[in-house]
Structure formats: structure tokens, C-alpha cells
Copies of this chain bind each other. A is one copy, B any other.
Amino acid sequence: MATGRTHRPASRSRGIPEATVARLPLYLRALTGLSERSVPTVSSEELAAAAGVNSAKLRKDFSYLGSYGTRGVGYDVEYLVYQISRELGLTQDWPVVIVGIGNLGAALANYGGFASRGFRVAALIDADPAMAGKPVAGIPVQHADELEKIVSDNGVSIGVIATPAGAAQPVCDRLVAAGVTSILNFAPTVLTVPDGVDVRKVDLSIELQILAFHEQRKAGEEAANQAAHPTAARRDDSAEQGPDGDVPAVMPA
């Protein structure tokens, strides 16, 4: 595996597991913090703690990139920052367009983490003519009619969709047709795209629902323990929604 010096790009950059890729930004952030505090080296243990993972996972992740550590010492912070940045493609800069400048779009435009790492907001686009020309985060909003021109003129390959659900698919289609091949979707819809186009979705409501699931479970366990432990049971405004019995009005055949 990756014999010392990096040789064939294909052999070492092929097949980095998705799960590892998803953690690289986490490591990078932790490393950047260390770098700013001028820490020269870290052990896998320390870095793992800073990134919120366990050290075995971190070492395995790094092993996919190559052998960038020093046994008995740890990892050189600056060197790792560079290697991970390069692996993620952050040594080049990525022009990004944000479509849909409502509350969320504006929040994204103002988000500092954007510019910090290789990403540059090339344009803000909204369908509302009243928005056109209005500056948000110092960038004038452009009308949706300009979308295709903006994408091709700026060589944009990453698009962020922050429109209402209904507008998302048409916007997506236009972005893709104009040449965008990666989309970050904040609208609560499943987007359909041709092969070769990546979509990642960020969905607030889904995250909350997952939390609710676990929260409910906790409450259930608490209730179960209550027989033996009749202590304070928080958040019991009404009857514990019975996981049994109470069937809805509508019933299947």
C-alpha cells in the first residue's frame, strides 16, 4: 500500500472509502486549529480527540492517503494540512453559485466557512426581480434568467440550491444543463439528476426527526425504569403515547 513516496496517482487516490472522505474535513478543521496555535506535531490520539473520533479509525483513514506519520512521534501538522487539502481538492478554488436568496440563502452567502477553504461565492441568484441588484453579503443578487450565463462564464461546477421545494428540481435541471456537476441541496425534495452529477442533501427536518426518534426512545426507557425508580420524569405533559393499542382513525384493509 502506497509505498513511501507517492507514485501513481491512480493507485493511491483510487478507492478512498466514502466514510473516510466524509471525515477528512473534520480532521482538516482540527488540524487547522492546531496549526493556528503553532502546534508542530500531533499524535493520532490527540488529533482523534480533537476531531471527535477514535484513534484507530483516524489512523486507518490516514493509511488510505499514504504514510504521512512518523512512528513514535505522530503527524506533522502543516504537512498533514497540506496533504488533506490536496486530497480534498481544496488547493484549487471552487466558484460556487447559490440559488434562492431567502433567509437560508442569505445565511449561506454570509457563512464564513465558505471562503475560508477554497470556496468562493461566484454569484447569488434569485427568481424574484425585486431582489435583483440588491447586495447580500456584499454580492449583488442576479436574476434567475442569468443562471446559464453565470454558470458558464464563471466555470461553476458546484451549485447550492436554497429555493423552496417546488423550485428545486427545475433549478437543478438548469444548473446541470449549464454544466454544474455537483449540487448541494437544501430544499426538502429528492432531486433527480443524470449520471455523473453528485447531489448531497442537507435536510433540517430530517435531522430533527431522527433526534425525536431517539428522544422518544429515551422517554420510553425512562418510563420503563419508573416502576423501580419513581424519580422526576421530565417532559410528561400528557400520557405517554402508548406504543400499543391506539390505532389511527384510518385503518388498512
Contact = CB atoms under 8 A, between A and B. Distances in A.
A212 B94 contact: yes
Interface string A178-216: 010111100010100000101010111111111111111
A211 B253 contact: no
Given A79-B252, A182-B214, A90 B209 contact: yes
Interface of A: 6-7, 9-10, 12-13, 21-22, 24-26, 28-30, 50-52, 68, 70, 76, 78-79, 82, 86-92, 94, 96, 102-104, 106-108, 110-111, 113-114, 116-119, 155, 157-158, 179, 181-184, 188, 190, 196, 198, 200, 202-218, 220, 224, 234-235, 237-238, 241, 243-244, 248, 250-253
Contact of A117 (B50, B91, B114, B205): B205
Nearest to A224: B10
B26 A206 contact: yes
Contacts of A206: 22, 25-26
Contacts of A205: 25, 111, 113-114, 116-117, 119
A58 to B, nearest CB: 13
A235 to B, nearest CB: 4
Contact of A24 (B184, B209, B220): B209
Question: Which of A7, A119, A203, A216 has the largest count of B CB atoms less than 10 A from its CB?
Answer: A216
A211 B234 contact: no
B188 A29 contact: yes
Nearest to A77: B250
A25 B79 contact: no
Contacts of A104: 104, 107, 111
A204 B202 contact: yes
A190 B86 CA distance: 23
Question: Which of A29, A70, A87, A102 has the largest count of B CB atoms less than 10 A from its CB?
Answer: A29
Contacts of A179: 234
Contact of A181 (B110, B184, B218, B252): B218
Contact of A91 (B111, B198, B241): B241
Contact of A220 (B13, B51, B116, B251): B13
